[in-house]
Amino acid sequence: MTATTAHFLELPAAAVAITGDVDEAALLKRARQGDEAAFGALYARYQRPLYRYAARMCGDCAADDVVQETFIVVLRAASRFDEARGTFGAYVFGIARHMMLKQLGSRYEEPFDDDLDMADAQAGADVLEALSHRERAEAVRSAVQSLPPAYREVVVLCDLEELDYASAAQVIGCPIGTVRSRLHRARALLMSKLASLRAPARSYGS
């Protein structure tokens, strides 16, 4: 996918990657010992990204429950965070993913391998060129929500919440190569779905 096309996938609510020198492992240890300030710091740092992820995967109604249950698990000492295995962000998103899968149940599907018309994918990018920023955001949001969950998930994690491939792979529990291939496929599917807007897009310029 080109840089121009990648730009079209940005939504107004997209998160900025969570970065900084905060020692989250230390905050977690203190939070599990009853330090409310430490817990508050972790909650403030991850509540909104986790909510967005859950809402995009299983709907606004379930998102609050997913976030609440995630932080309950985070506070349990039995839920072990191992810095050697990855970032705290990937760890907490992984817990949220488990809660999200409970909400989705059988609605979570493995990726399918149907034929994709790459001409339609290019047409989708052309259509987006003709839309205003608001129209583009609405079109992309709708297209993202229409993706099969396994493809939607990598778009949400990598393109919208800006996790790197390694962190996304840790969250999903798959090889990095699987994240790359699913994301490539998901982006192409998005452009193909957006190609259906070709006729309405013409009317915007009339």
Architecture of domain 115-204: Orthogonal Bundle (1.10)
- Tell me the CATH number for domain 24-107: 1.10.1740.10
Query: Range(s) for CATH 1.10.1740.10 in the chain?
Result: 24-107
For 87-113, the pLDDT digits (tens) are: 899 999 999 999 999 988 766 765 555
Higher pLDDT, 118 or 154: 154
The burial of 43, by beta-carbon neighbours within 10 Å (0-12 exposed, 13-18 middle, 19 or more buried), is given as middle
pTM metric for this prediction? 0.75
pLDDT in tens, 13-52: 444 445 455 789 999 999 999 999 999 999 999 999 999 9
For range 130-153, the mean pLDDT: 78
Name the residue with higher pLDDT: 82 or 201: 82
CB 186 within 8 A of CB 172: no
- Ramachandran quadrant class, 204 (left: phi over 0; alpha: psi -120 to 50; beta: rest): alpha
